[in-house]
A and B are shown apart, each in its own frame.
Chain A
Amino acid sequence: MSSASQQAFSARLWSIFAFYTVGFVFFLVALAALEQAGMSRTPMGYVFLGATILVYAVIGITSRTNDPTEYYVAGRRVPAVFNGMATAADWMSAASFISLAGGLYAGGYSGLAFVTGWTGGYVLVALLLAPYLRKFGRFTIPDFFGARYGGHIPRMLAVAIALVCSFTYVVAQIYGLGLVTTRLTGVEFEIASFLGLAGILVCSFLGGMKAVTWTQVAQYIILIAAYMIPVVWLSVQQTGNPLPQFAYGQQLQKIGQIEERLLADPAEEEVRRIFRERADTAIAALVDPAASFERETARLRQAIELARTSGDREALKQAEDALAAYPARVDAAVAQWRSEAALAARVRPLVRHAEPFAGATEADRDTARRNFLALVFCLMVGTAALPHILMRFYTTPSVRETRSSVAWSLFFIFLLYFTAPALAVLVKYVVYHDVVGTSFSALPGWVEQWRKVDPAVLSIMDVNVDGIVQAAEILLGDDIVVLATPEIAGLPYVISGLVAAGGLSAALSTADGLLLTIANALSHDTYYKVIDPSAPTAKRVLISKVLLLLVAVVAALTAAQRPAGILHLVSAAFSFAAAGFFPALVLGIFWKRATGLGATLGMLAGFGVTLYYMSRTQPWLRELVYGIPQEMPVTDLWWGIEPISAGIFGVPVGFAVIVVVSLLTPAPAPETRRLVDTIRYPRLPP
């Protein structure tokens, strides 16, 4: 395409999205006015849900296409800035939007591994992969493995790894969609996941990458506005400064002072002691549940007998109530003991927010430090190897635009990621200042409201029965920090709706990108390249669309089961992508001597080591593979590294195997070396 028409195209995009943004602002103002006029919450939730899905449907229908270049890579004419926004939306999942700030709230410094890990990966994308993949310029990431390493085996291996990583990830997105939709409209979770699915399909089904790109830009605008408005407002309230990223230092210092006071508070100590006793009792009871149940019910019956013979009616009633409240069957008692035993997690003393690698002993602190560094490494390398992200850099018009597009991507991601630590601190200040130390009868309104919604999201119980809230008595779920911020800041409900719509956009945009990756790996790489290379283009695109529909339905059905195990595995997707893809991608570009056999074995070895380590150390996966119950402690960690960072072992193994096997096998054919040369130079002179 000529540069003049590209410029005209870009100008049209700017005016379309400017118009869209203005419309979006008007929409919010109108809803705020309706709220003032007395519109209640549930219809407003439906309006938000309906309006967002309508926008995506309009984009999807206007972008419908049957042309493969349009369908797979949006015609390769997405300007750098817009590709940056689309990549940012593609990248930031429900977890980034909803849970990142909550993780930072709970973990303090240790949560920063996600901030650096998820931004630093883009340095690897920019320097080692994106420009070269753009010059390579095909349709999918497995295409690169097929062309560079020759033959179907590396391609199919890449397809398999892409499927494992993307499928777990997309299930988690649909699960997140279901949660947000439930909260927004009150419909049941299973129905909500399928409503979310409809939202995904209206845009990706008809127009593939082309529709997904423009939808993702639209989604980015909603999600960033939804994230920023409450934080800025909270920051103005607390510090008088509308730039929370520059103002939260003083709040962090105030938190530090409160923390020292709380650490010295005997009431906090008492609450933790009670938790420990309750957990210990439950753990002891779980050793032989049948006998414990027998003993405890016998004891309660005896108490009733005793009260009856003494003739004290009050005591008799109490004893009878105690028996009635006690679980009637062993399995119910076991469930109760399990939840009591989980209180052990709340025994640990308060962690200072800004303290790196807190721990009781030097060895504990060392392990925390190793895990932090390993996690940062895996998140970064994994970011640089997830196919749904790399795929986006095929869509720009040139290598030059791809380079600046990575910069724009990180810029747009950065806006959210460098705000999240500020949000966590501002909310923590509110909790420490307004909730801790107040009486249970005078809790702030937002606490009362969220307590009723879901005890897993926010629970406060008077454990030591002194009528005062201790910090140790508060349990905040990761989601609440973002979701409750509008109420904490005293903003109208329309902003809460906006935040939920932002979470919806984050989940939808990521799910779109992932579903395309999966469907294209199956249709383009498996069907067209391996099974039927003579398929006409219209048939190829049609098959992509059918597969997209199938994969989406399977993913939604999986998500509707609420699979706890898969949700645990999402963070593991980074380790899998890192170990499976990264070494073969980088060496394929930077080392001409890397051979097909080397890459194949290297991918298998890297992925294999990661899978092996995870299967031995991740309780859910361990139960699946070896049948060891999840309660059994994990004993064979290597250097204390947690399973989430298993990639730290897989990546070096992958590199080593590729290098060694490549040196032992004959050098790649001359045409492969020529291919690498074309990739390395934006334009190779004849």
Chain B
Amino acid sequence: MRPEDSRDGLKRYWRRNLVLTAGLLFAWFVVSFVVPAFARYLDFDFFGWPFAFWVGAQGAPIVYLLIIWFYARRMDRLDREFGVAEGDEE
């Protein structure tokens, strides 16, 4: 690989990382702040719980777990794709 290719690749890696991070932070923002902000209106029945209450007690932590798990998986793939994974020799 030529040096400029690799520099270009690094830039793209970082941009892909930023896009992924921003997207996941958006999901985090929605469950953490948007749902509670409208909690008084989101009181429809959700398997026996008022929806907003369930999101605060169970839903949001589940979403957080999924976000972190998904990020770890995607970044591992991205590391390998761009040849920046640890222990990778070219």
Binding site for B on A (CB under 8 A): 3, 109, 112-113, 115-116, 119-120, 122-124, 126-128, 131, 245, 249-250, 252-253, 354, 356-357, 365, 369, 372-373, 376-377, 380, 398-400, 403-404, 406-407, 410-411, 414, 417-418, 421-422, 680-685
Contact of A407 among B25, B33, B65, B79 (CB under 8 A): B65
Q: Do B53 and A400 touch (CB < 8 A)?
A: no
17 more A-B contacts (CB under 8 A) besides A116-B31, A354-B49, A418-B62? A109-B52, A109-B56, A115-B57, A119-B61, A120-B32, A122-B68, A123-B24, A127-B25, A252-B49, A356-B39, A376-B32, A403-B71, A414-B61, A417-B61, A418-B61, A684-B10, A685-B1
Q: Do B13 and A681 touch (CB < 8 A)?
A: yes
User: 4 shortest A-B CB distances, which residue pairs?
Assistant: A249-B48, A112-B56, A356-B39, A421-B57
- Closest chain A residue, CB of each to CB of B61: A119
Interface range on chain B (Cβ under 8 Å from partner): 35 or more
Contact of B39 among A357, A406, A418, A683 (CB under 8 A): A357
Asked if A404 meets B72 with Cβ closer than 8 Å, knowing A112-B57, A115-B56, A372-B36, the reply is yes
B59-90 residues with Cβ-Cβ distance < 8 A to A are 60-62, 64-65, 67-69, 71-72, 75-76, 79, 83-88, 90
In the assembled complex, B40 has its CB within 8 A of some CB on chain A = yes
Residue of B57, B72, B88 with highest tally of chain A CB at under 10 A:
B57
Asked if A376 meets B36 with Cβ closer than 8 Å, knowing A119-B61, A123-B24, A403-B76, the reply is yes
* Per-position binary interface string of chain B over residues 1-32, scored 1 when its CB falls under 8 Å from any chain A CB and 0 otherwise: 10000100010011001000100110010011
- Closest chain A residue, CB of each to CB of B70: A407
Asked if A123 meets B86 with Cβ closer than 8 Å, knowing A373-B33, A407-B72, A417-B61, the reply is no
Whole-angstrom CA separation of A131 from B13 in the bound complex:
15
Interface pairs (9), CB distance under 8 Å: A109-B52, A115-B57, A116-B32, A245-B58, A373-B36, A380-B32, A411-B65, A685-B6, A685-B83
Chain A residues positioned under 8 Å from B58 (CB to CB): 245, 418, 421
Q: Do A126 and B72 touch (CB < 8 A)?
A: yes
Asked if A403 meets B75 with Cβ closer than 8 Å, knowing A356-B36, A372-B36, A682-B85, the reply is yes
Residue of B64, B75, B90 with highest tally of chain A CB at under 10 A:
B64
Q: Chain A: interface secondary structure?
A: helix
Asked if A252 meets B48 with Cβ closer than 8 Å, knowing A681-B13, A683-B84, A685-B6, the reply is yes
Whole-angstrom CA separation of A410 from B67 in the bound complex:
11
Q: Do B39 and A407 touch (CB < 8 A)?
A: no
Chain A residues positioned under 8 Å from B28 (CB to CB): 120, 123-124
Chain A residues positioned under 8 Å from B31 (CB to CB): 116, 120
Whole-angstrom CA separation of A421 from B58 in the bound complex:
8
Q: Do B72 and A406 touch (CB < 8 A)?
A: yes
Whole-angstrom CA separation of A357 from B7 in the bound complex:
52
Contact of B68 among A113, A249, A407 (CB under 8 A): A407
Q: Do A410 and B65 touch (CB < 8 A)?
A: yes
Q: Do B25 and A365 touch (CB < 8 A)?
A: no
B27: min CB distance to chain A, Å: 9
- Closest chain B residue, CB of each to CB of A677: B10
Chain B residues positioned under 8 Å from A404 (CB to CB): 72
Contact of B76 among A354, A372, A400 (CB under 8 A): A400
Q: Do A418 and B64 touch (CB < 8 A)?
A: no
Chain A residues positioned under 8 Å from B54 (CB to CB): 249
Whole-angstrom CA separation of A252 from B67 in the bound complex:
28
Chain B residues positioned under 8 Å from A116 (CB to CB): 31-32, 36, 56, 60-61
Whole-angstrom CA separation of A407 from B71 in the bound complex:
9
Q: Do A683 and B85 touch (CB < 8 A)?
A: yes
Chain A residues positioned under 8 Å from B84 (CB to CB): 681-685
- Closest chain B residue, CB of each to CB of A370: B37
Q: Do A357 and B40 touch (CB < 8 A)?
A: yes
Whole-angstrom CA separation of A407 from B70 in the bound complex:
9
A680: min CB distance to chain B, Å: 6
Q: Do A253 and B48 touch (CB < 8 A)?
A: yes
A684: min CB distance to chain B, Å: 7
